[in-house]
Structure 1
Amino acid sequence: MSFPDKTVRQSFPSTLIHRNATVFTSQGADEIAQQAIQNLIDSRYALKDRVSAPLKGLENDLFAKSQPLDSLRPKLRVTFGRAKRDGTFDWPVEEVINTFRAQKRGAPVAGLYGFGYRKSALGLIQEFFIFTEMLDGYLNGLEWLKQKRDIHSLITASFTLLRSLHNRDIVHMDFWANNVMINLAQPSLTKAIDLENCFLTPTNHMSEVLGFQFGFYYRREVFRFVIEEEYDRMVADELAHYAGVDRERFDEVYAASKHENISRRARREIFHKGTVVTG
């Protein structure tokens, strides 16, 4: 397979080949890491479900994702490095590209250790693997909230993380509490995960994008823990950190995103056109 950005592949020069799978890593995997990756590959032959969990055998070091490609079109696209009609790539490729670029910009994200794929007898990629650093000592926002029961600290830390991403021109369009990892020892230290639905280029519709991000963050579980008017006040205070926000355009998307489902495709329309489609 190939990436549109050749530096992605070049930055992961070590290769591990096992059965009909190939994995590229940023550094040579030691014997324990090799065995853990091989065991994951072996376990996938009879399974078709998606895996997203600490890598067995290296639970404190690496997090593994495995995504089967269940139809011919994504298999062809990923195998030959082709984009979809809208110019995007299938999510595992998007996540590798976005995580790699965000990491290069010094963004607070889980570091990319490697990626790879398993091919069919016909030579088509039928499953994609992604390995990131295991954020030991961190909990996702909702798990952290169960322990600390401090919704205001969670929201504040999340907003600070979102601002840090924007300062590096990273627009996370799946930004919710479970994609915010909080350091147990220092809750102000946070990292973002799951970057497959991100943009790393400027938008001409920042007011609408921010409206979606803040609204979506509220809709995805946070509304259960905070009064809406109180959340609105926290959002208004946070907007003071962003220059040039058109409140009329912001409020329209913000109100919709707080209470309506916005599909992933519709989120791209917000980023590219500033328009929101609900439902």
Structure 2
Amino acid sequence: MFCNKTLQSEYPIVCAFGNTTLHLSEAPSIQARQALEQLIKKRRARKLTRASAPLSYCETPLFAKVQPLDTFKAKVRVSLNKPQRNGRFDWPLEELMNCLEAQRRGVEMPPLKGYGYTRSRLGLTEEFFLLTHLLEGHIDGAECIRRNPENIEAFILDAFQLLSSLASKNITHMDFWVGNIMLPEQTQRPLKAIDFENCFAGPTAHASETLGFQLGFFYRRDIYKFITEAAYDRLVDQYIGALPDLSKDKFETVYQLSKHEYVGRKQRREVFLTGRLIVG
């Protein structure tokens, strides 16, 4: 699995913990190794589902995201590094590849420190690990709004600029919401994006529709609790008014739907690929 030369050179350190193998960018300290081993043992003992865990007591603080593979077909595909029929990979592999590409393009994000997998006795991948640098001294957008509700409009405009920064590097984040934005608590450094599972690295022929989805989804996913729709629309109009190549008609169709309707993970992909949003 994942034997290409780029990954081998960037993540050359191999650590084995029973039937779990981790590929790391640097040799872990004793504390980091103990923390990783404890995380793996805990998961094995409790048969835990998808989870995220900070390992902040390591010398190099890490954040671990672990995703179990629920179906036999998914386990086979991930074990063989094979795509699905639609050409896309299963979500854990998508996230790994998207993180690598976003990192290479200089996206504001926590550095990827490693990845790994747990295999069954048959050699099939049962769960997948992503290890990133833990953003100490940061809070997510939801916590920022909770602490400073009076600054909601400034936060929204800063989030739009982060979205523009991603777009300038041809990274399209299709799960862009307050929980996937990280802010430093004490400084004015740039916001960072996390969770690149549902993401595209490359241009789209449907930029107006895709942006319409992103801004509509951003409102529906928690922002609506803190600002009126009219006030949010005003900020959106201000933002898109500076985008000369945007088609307002195409944008509005998807934007209005995305503000008020649930859009699943696979439906979001269709917006990027075809410009169509089918809800319900």
TM-score by length of 1: 0.95
- Displacement after TM superposition at 1:157 (Å): 1.4
Q: Aligned pair in 2 of structure 1 residues 50, 30: CA closer, same or farther (>3 Å)?
A: same
Residue of structure 2 equivalent to 1:190: 191
- Displacement after TM superposition at 1:2 (Å): 2.5
Report how many aligned residue pairs link the two structures. Answer: 278
Residue of structure 2 equivalent to 1:38: 37
Q: Aligned pair in 2 of structure 1 residues 263, 9: CA closer, same or farther (>3 Å)?
A: farther
**SS in structure 1 opposite 2:154?**
helix
- Displacement after TM superposition at 1:53 (Å): 2.0
Correspondence list, 1:105-184, <5 A: 105-149=105-149, 150-184=151-185
**SS in structure 2 opposite 1:128?**
strand
Distance 2:28 2:59 in 1: 15
Residue of structure 2 equivalent to 1:18: 17
Distance 1:196 1:97 in 2: 9
Stretch moving more, 237-246 or 51-60: 51-60
Deviations 1:228-275 (A, max 9, x none): 111111111111343310000000000000001111111111101101
- Displacement after TM superposition at 1:142 (Å): 0.6
Correspondence list, 1:185-264, <5 A: 185-187=186-188, 189-264=190-265
Q: Aligned pair in 2 of structure 1 residues 132, 195: CA closer, same or farther (>3 Å)?
A: same
Distance 2:264 2:13 in 1: 37
Distance 2:275 2:71 in 1: 32
Distance 1:39 1:179 in 2: 26
Identity, in percent, stands at 42
Contact 1:8 1:97 in 2 (8 A): no
Q: Aligned pair in 2 of structure 1 residues 72, 59: CA closer, same or farther (>3 Å)?
A: farther
Deviations 1:16-71 (A, max 9, x none): 01111110011111211111111111112131311112026439811111111122
Stretch moving more, 232-241 or 102-111: 232-241
- Displacement after TM superposition at 1:183 (Å): 1.1
Distance 1:267 1:139 in 2: 26
One-letter amino acid of the counterpart of residue 43, structure 2: R
Q: Aligned pair in 2 of structure 1 residues 24, 100: CA closer, same or farther (>3 Å)?
A: same
**SS in structure 2 opposite 1:139?**
strand
**SS in structure 2 opposite 1:208?**
helix
Contact 2:29 2:58 in 1 (8 A): no
Q: Aligned pair in 2 of structure 1 residues 270, 71: CA closer, same or farther (>3 Å)?
A: same
Aligned-residue CA RMSD in angstroms? 1.6
Distance 2:243 2:11 in 1: 36
Long gaps (5+) in structure 2: none
Distance 1:59 1:218 in 2: 38
- Displacement after TM superposition at 1:202 (Å): 0.3
Q: Aligned pair in 2 of structure 1 residues 206, 83: CA closer, same or farther (>3 Å)?
A: same
Correspondence list, 1:65-144, <5 A: 65-144=65-144
Contact 1:59 1:134 in 2 (8 A): no
Deviations 1:78-112 (A, max 9, x none): 10001111111111111111111111111101110
Distance 2:243 2:164 in 1: 8
TM-score by length of 2: 0.95
One-letter amino acid of the counterpart of residue 34, structure 1: R
One-letter amino acid of the counterpart of residue 128, structure 2: F
Distance 1:6 1:257 in 2: 41
Distance 2:24 2:244 in 1: 40
Distance 2:8 2:240 in 1: 38
Distance 1:143 1:60 in 2: 24
Residue of structure 2 equivalent to 1:63: 63
Q: Aligned pair in 2 of structure 1 residues 269, 245: CA closer, same or farther (>3 Å)?
A: same
**SS in structure 2 opposite 1:7?**
helix
